Chain A
Amino acid sequence: MRRQSDRSFSQTLNLLPYLLAKGEVRLSKAAADLRLTGSEVKQLVRLLQFCGLPPYGGADTFDCYVERGSVRLLAARGAPLRPARLTSEEALALAVGTHLAGQLVPSVSNAAGRLREKVALAAATQEVDVPLQVEREPQALARWLSFFRSAIANRSVAEISYYSLSSARLSERQVEPRKLHYSKGHWYLLAYCRLREQDCLFRLDRVREAVLTGESFLPRSKSMREPASTYEGDLFEADILLPEEEARYLGERELPYLKSVEYGLAKGMARIRVVSSSLPWIVSLVLKYGGRAVVERPDHVRRAVAEAAQEMLEKYRQQNEDTGG
């Protein structure tokens, strides 16, 4: 972290060429353009008023003042005409950012390449090759990203076919798209769902189909409620026994559904407590451990897991008979 005075100095080095270019400018506009508050600009201007420098004689080098909400710069002998080049840290931050932006938002990937060259020019260093990668998203996603971005911009209602993990099925619903949200490996659409009648988060890779209905929507007042799951049901808890190493893997990830992990049980097992409103979701959570996970309670979850596994088993056996296997 930089010292406050270094930050102010850095801001001054941006303010001076700005004022040189503008001559006179509204205080509020200067503040907005330079991402400062009005009082910060005032403070920097006051600072400039004190900066005199021999051998230019007794006169102040910078003649600068605030009057009736405007900033004026009358003289700035010897002042830098443009901001300083990027520091290597600044160049690295932007190289990393543009690199990741190109990976996450396919529509900017062309611009990202050009930007890295320009950032290198601005820093007077060689272009940094950033060995950094975020996980790959499926191709179809690029399509949904631009589809929903334009739906958000135009306030267009979309009809989507969505696979909800919690109900383990596809369903059709109309949504009013509000925002796109990249979180920990996945793109989500935050939208008002007309089926659930509230804001819901939809994972973009689970959108099977989306079309505009042709209707546009009026902005709704922001809901104070957290976006809901796309599935309706009461929350319940379940305790599941898992091999310790599997539990540790979950424990490393700050998962919202994971309430607690208890290590050190017999036979190298751990107990996790999960909370969910969806029975199908918990069942599939248990199934994916291939028998290494056992639901302790409640009974209705135990039964649901056994039934799901039994149904799948019968399907396998049926198929074996059909093919004479």
Chain B
Amino acid sequence: MRVGSQRIERLLNLLTFLLNSSVSKSAEEIRTSIPHYRASETQAAFKRTLGRDMQALREVGVPVEVDDGFNYRIEPKAYHLPLLNFTEEELSGLALASRIVSNLAPSLQEAAESALRKLSFGSWEDMRRAEENETDLEFQLLYGRGGLKPEKLQVLMDAVLNRHTVKVRYWARTSHQTTTRDVDPYGLVIHDGQWYLVGFCHLRGDVRTFKGIRIRSLSLSKPSQPNRSDFEIPQGFDLQAHVGVPRWSHPSFTPSFTAKVRFDKEVFWWVRENWGIYGSIEEEADAGILSVEVRDPDAFVDAILEFGRHAEVREPKSLRNKAISALERIVEAHR
């Protein structure tokens, strides 16, 4: 037999032994009951092996309890997966969930896959069907790693879940400068195939969005303590408001003014679906006028020019003039 299989046999014996004991077992009792441990040459070697095995059990989800006198116990109720019934819709949700995370990080993919194998207990066939049924959907949430190496993503995920403040060395694209700042990470956001961190920036004294790829380095601000949280997320904070919001409407720019833009029929329906939530719509015979709150006029003019002849800024006049000067610059530069 290979070494690996000896180890598995030993782990399985250890698990079965403890799972079937109604009382805690001492290390010595374990050593005398399970032949593999008797083979240990010294007491110290045995203790090391036992310690590693207990760790291995915990890593696959076995809740090993140990008391002060080094007596071990596995409570069957805490071990066994409860009986859960999943509806067809839920099974298909699980299958989707697993496919989706597989794109985010290899560690999540492995964990989701093994979770699915556990949860399919008792409904193996239905789970199989659900997994096969979802093949009409494919997911790619990120470009490559989405701009964050797995180690950084792990640190950020943990910090977000445990509410730990992080120290971020960040390169700002516009100022071209790298600064170090403390950030209370409120959440992670995937936008345009990239990771973003949204959090309270202690340097700026406000909520800011940080693009993952521009985070040079990252660490916890204070030594980690599992049960300590460094901050609270303000009530009503909406992560959604920071995702995929066009730059011209981004809450970090203030103040705002109302702009009116006319879109022709080729593109108006798209504007209604995608930008309708930012303002109001007036439909005309073969076109429509969008009134929106604009926070960054330059970014807005850029966004309108991208529509080419299909869009025209109507109001205010200052914004219209901005569009006109931009067009004049373009004509001039391409003469």
Contacts and interface: CB of A to CB of B under 8 A. Distances in A.
A115 B33 contact: no
Contact of B273 (A82, A84, A100, A138): A138
B90 A114 contact: yes
Given A249-B173, A316-B323, A94 B137 contact: no
Contacts of A163: 266-267, 270
Nearest to A132: B188
B9 A122 contact: no
Interface in A287-325: 287-291, 294-295, 302-303, 305-306, 308-313, 315-317, 319, 325
Nearest to A87: B61
A67 interface: no
Contacts of A183: 138-140, 193
Given A86-B61, A168-B266, A111 B87 contact: yes
B121 A315 contact: no
Interface string B70-114: 000000001111111011011011101111110010111111111
Given A51-B12, A108-B96, A135-B192, A308 B308 contact: yes
A82 B157 CA distance: 31
A159 interface: no
Contact of B115 (A91, A290, A325): A91
Interface in B293-313: 298, 301-303, 305-310, 312
Nearest to A248: B173
Name, among A17, A83, A208, the residue most crowded by chain B CB atoms within 10 Å (CB to CB).
A83
A169 B174 CA distance: 34
A152 interface: yes
B143 interface: yes
Contacts of A115: 90, 93-94, 97
Given A182-B141, A316-B320, A50 B1 contact: yes
Contact of B60 (A47, A87, A108, A309): A87
Interface residues of B, number: 130
Interface stretch (B42-50, B236-244, B281-289): B236-244
A34 interface: yes
A112 B334 contact: no
Interface residues of A, number: 123
Contacts of B207: none
A74 interface: no
Interface in A143-198: 149, 152-153, 163, 168-170, 179-185
A185 B192 contact: yes
A185 B193 contact: yes
Of residues B301, B320, B334, which shows the largest number of chain A Cβ atoms within 10 Å of its Cβ? B334
Given A51-B9, A101-B93, A284-B306, A169 B266 contact: yes
Contacts of B147: 252
A9 B302 contact: no
Nearest to B172: A245
Given A97-B98, A182-B137, A290-B326, A122 B331 contact: no
Interface stretch (B16-24, B217-225, B252-260): B16-24
Chain A contact residues, majority secondary structure: helix
Contacts of B266: 163, 168-170
B108 A96 contact: yes
B59 A2 contact: yes
A219 interface: no
B124 interface: yes
Contacts of A79: 16
A21 interface: yes
A98 interface: yes
Contacts of B326: 290-291
B142 interface: yes
Contacts of B261: none
A312 B334 contact: no
Nearest to A316: B324
Nearest to A6: B56
B227 interface: no
Given A163-B267, A309-B327, A184 B187 contact: no
Contact of A184 (B60, B83, B96, B193): B193
Given A78-B17, A131-B161, A245-B173, 6 more contacts: A96-B97, A96-B108, A124-B78, A131-B239, A135-B191, A183-B139
Closest 10 CB pairs of A and B: A97-B97, A135-B244, A291-B329, A184-B193, A131-B187, A288-B306, A90-B115, A33-B124, A93-B111, A290-B326
25 contacts: A1-B107, A2-B59, A2-B110, A4-B4, A6-B60, A9-B8, A55-B33, A84-B81, A85-B78, A86-B118, A93-B108, A110-B89, A118-B84, A131-B160, A131-B187, A132-B188, A132-B190, A138-B274, A180-B136, A185-B193, A288-B306, A291-B325, A303-B334, A305-B330, A316-B324
